[in-house]
Structure 1
Amino acid sequence: MTGPLFYVMGPSGAGKDTVLDAVRSRAECAGVLFARRYITRPASAGGERHMPLHPQEFDAMRHAGQFALHWQSHGLHYGIGIEIDGWLAQGHAVVVNGSRGYLKSALLRYPAMHPVLVTAPESLIAERLAQRGRETEAQIRRRLQHNCLLADCGTGKDCAVIVNDSTVQAAAERFFSLLRPYLR
């Protein structure tokens, strides 16, 4: 039995990492596994919990086949470790923090996966990006323009949409409801 793969994505500032953090401990207690992302971004940059890598380390891991999924976005490299294949083979439900721009490629490797889009109104996204303080105003404008290009899943595959525009708990509950049928 192969476990389900939940591919969570959304624009920067939609609160995707916050929603994932809010559901993580509850879901992990029920047997759901969350893949850690490897990113060529220092740990000190804030945001999601990730494994920081230098670009050379990332390339070495990629060439060694240690990533099940990998992509580039906003000048950074992202990867999901190959261990998810073992977890899925053992029947675990697995959650990965993905990218809208890489969704079609990810579907080629995992055609049965469940895409989940976390989003929010543009004004709220802009406010959140400004509050986190990682980008300049010009970078925020570019991210918002990029968001318009990737406004939906765009694959023809059913995609669950979570609008994170009220409380984190409400968005986390919506995501947890997607996981509920696969809990152990």
Structure 2
Amino acid sequence: MNKGRLVYILGPSGAGKDTLIDLARAALDGGAPVVFAHRYITRPANAGGEAHVALTAAEFDLRARHGLFALTWDSHGLRYGIGREIDLWLDAGLTVVVNGSRGHLPQAAERYPDMVPVVIRVGLDELRRRLIARGRETPEQILERLARAAAFQVEHPALVTLDNSGPAVEGGRALEAVLRTVAAGNLP
């Protein structure tokens, strides 16, 4: 049995990563050897945004001390983790999808050298509109996010870039196609 590959989704806040992941997951619905990792986050479950496993800071630290995370990072005052269960899934030959962090990509690539990073891009005007519409950031935070998005560069030999400036259903189909291609072993 061949080892599976990690697909590491990244992109600026507001690019639609969670939406595209949800659409691709629903479309695949077990019809391909693709599984989706959940994130452990030190954010209350009812805080909005993606579905996640909510942990207190103490719970997160306990799990981290005992080696229960394959990947961890800090962002915007929160701690994020991906459980070690993904290593079992990869060993079983599954393609594993992770909603990752732009800043943590080098560490993830070091641990999973055959990973496929997928950058979700969106035009800055559309990104501004989305950030305003979701109402989670102040105007200053939106400007900071837009500046970071404009400056963001990713380099990786297996990099895939998806433009999600249009309808989400199109981006979801594009991500689904990438995941099916990776699962079939047809990406470098």
Q: TM-score, normalised by structure 1?
A: 0.93
Gaps of 5+ in 1: none
Q: From the superposition, tell whether residues 28 and 87 of structure 1 become closer, same or farther in structure 2 (CA, over 3 Å).
A: farther
Q: Number of residues paired by the alignment? A: 181
Give the corresponding residue for 1:42.
44
**Secondary structure of the residue that 2:104 maps to in structure 1?**
helix
Q: What is the rounded CA distance, in whole Å, between the counterparts of 2:75 and 2:173 in structure 1? A: 28
Q: What is the rounded CA distance, in whole Å, between the counterparts of 1:46 and 1:101 in structure 2? A: 22
**Secondary structure of the residue that 1:135 maps to in structure 2?**
coil
Q: What is the rounded CA distance, in whole Å, between the counterparts of 2:158 and 2:35 in structure 1? A: 22
**Secondary structure of the residue that 2:90 maps to in structure 1?**
helix
Q: Which residue identity does 2:75 align to in structure 1?
A: S
Q: TM-score, normalised by structure 2?
A: 0.91
Deviations 1:52-80 (A, max 9, x none): 11111111111111110010111211110
Is 1:144 the counterpart of 2:133? The answer is no
Q: Which residue identity does 1:139 align to in structure 2?
A: Q
**Structure with the largest fraction of helix:** 1
- In the alignment, is the contact (CA less than 8 A) between 1:45 and 1:134 conserved in 2? no
- In the alignment, is the contact (CA less than 8 A) between 2:115 and 2:158 conserved in 1? no
**Secondary structure of the residue that 1:126 maps to in structure 2?**
helix
Q: Counterparts of 1:122-137 in structure 2 under 5 Å?
A: 122-137=124-139
**Range with bigger deviation, 44-53 or 105-114:** 44-53
For the aligned residues, what is the CA RMSD? 1.3
Identity of aligned residues (%): 45
Give the corresponding residue for 1:161.
161
Is 1:101 the counterpart of 2:103? The answer is yes
Q: What is the rounded CA distance, in whole Å, between the counterparts of 1:27 and 1:141 in structure 2? A: 36
Q: Which runs of 4+ in 1 moved over 4 A?
A: none
Give the corresponding residue for 2:180.
180
Of 54, 57, 79, the residue aligned with 1:55 is 57
Gaps of 5+ in 2: none
**Secondary structure of the residue that 1:70 maps to in structure 2?**
strand
**Secondary structure of the residue that 2:15 maps to in structure 1?**
coil
